[in-house]
């Protein structure tokens, strides 16, 4: 019986974990700690056992980098804490270099999803200008984003899945 390469096994695990997070996020607008912590623990165990393409130090570095890259978006009100933890958990399987690429592709995918949703909801220009204000004011208008009645929130975990997948197949 053929065996799976460490790279293929890691990709399967990270896509299963981030995919589960995305499905739940689309239904509930939350990524549960059970998903993120399980994915992170699996990544660290695989790295420690030599079952993945990276070792424990790279797994921890990927986790820390994923956290550091996503945290500013959370602090400015653009993403949820579950999204931050999801990319950090994925980093335990990707390592720091691939986590950086996954983050870059996640930003692109997230931007495309945001524009599509804003257009469908008839909010494209309003979303555009509020995003510019969010960047310009370094998050001072984050209350506009978090306002319940604004109909401007969407699940971001699918963008993380897309970013991880694109990075894995192109890098």
pLDDT of residue 142: 67
Residue ranges of alpha helices (H) inside 29-80 are 33-49, 56-75
Helices and strands per DSSP (H, E), number in the chain:
7, 0
pLDDT of residue 25: 97
Q: CA-CA distances (angstroms) from residue 29 to 26, 53, 80, 82, 115?
A: 6, 32, 9, 9, 18
Query: Residue 170 burial (CB < 10 Å; 0-12/13-18/19+)?
Result: exposed
Is the predicted pLDDT of residue 158 greater than 90, yes or no? yes
Nearest by Cα to 50 from 101, 10, 97, 2: 10
State mean pLDDT over 121-125.
89
Q: What is the DSSP letter of 150?
A: G
State mean pLDDT over 55-76.
96
pLDDT of residue 131: 78
Domain boundaries, the chain: 6-170
pTM over 0.85: yes
Nearest by Cα to 74 from 65, 64, 63, 82: 82
Instruction: Grade residue 99 by pLDDT with cuts at 50, 70 and 90.
Output: very high
Q: What's the chain's average pLDDT?
A: 92
Instruction: Grade residue 68 by pLDDT with cuts at 50, 70 and 90.
Output: very high
State mean pLDDT over 151-171.
92
State mean pLDDT over 57-64.
98
pLDDT one-digit tens code per residue, 105-120: 999 999 999 889 989 9
Tokens of 102: 């996954």
14's CB contacts (< 8 A; 6+ apart) are 39, 43, 90, 93, 94, 164, 168
pLDDT one-digit tens code per residue, 9-44: 999 999 999 999 999 999 999 999 999 999 999 999
Q: Are 53 and 95 in contact (CB under 8 A)?
A: yes
Q: Are 16 and 77 in contact (CB under 8 A)?
A: no
pLDDT of residue 77: 79
């Amino acid at each position: 019986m053929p065996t799976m390469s460490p790279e293929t096994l890691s990709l399967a695990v990270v896509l299963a974990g981030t995919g589960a997070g995305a499905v739940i996020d689309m239904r509930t607008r939350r990524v549960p700690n059970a998903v993120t912590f399980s994915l992170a623990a699996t990544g660290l165990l695989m790295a420690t056992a030599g079952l993945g393409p990276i070792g424990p130090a790279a797994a921890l570095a990927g986790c820390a980098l994923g956290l550091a890259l996503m945290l500013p978006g959370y602090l400015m009100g653009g993403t949820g804490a579950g999204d931050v933890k999801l990319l950090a958990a994925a980093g335990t399987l990707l390592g720091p270099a691939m986590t950086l690429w996954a983050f870059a592709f996640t930003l692109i995918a997230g931007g495309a999803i945001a524009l599509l949703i804003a257009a469908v909801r008839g909010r494209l220009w309003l979303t555009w200008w509020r995003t510019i204000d969010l960047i310009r004011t370094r998050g001072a208008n984050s209350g506009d984003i978090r306002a319940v009645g604004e109909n401007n929130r969407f699940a971001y975990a699918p963008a993380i899945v897309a970013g991880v997948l694109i990075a894995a197949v192109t890098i």
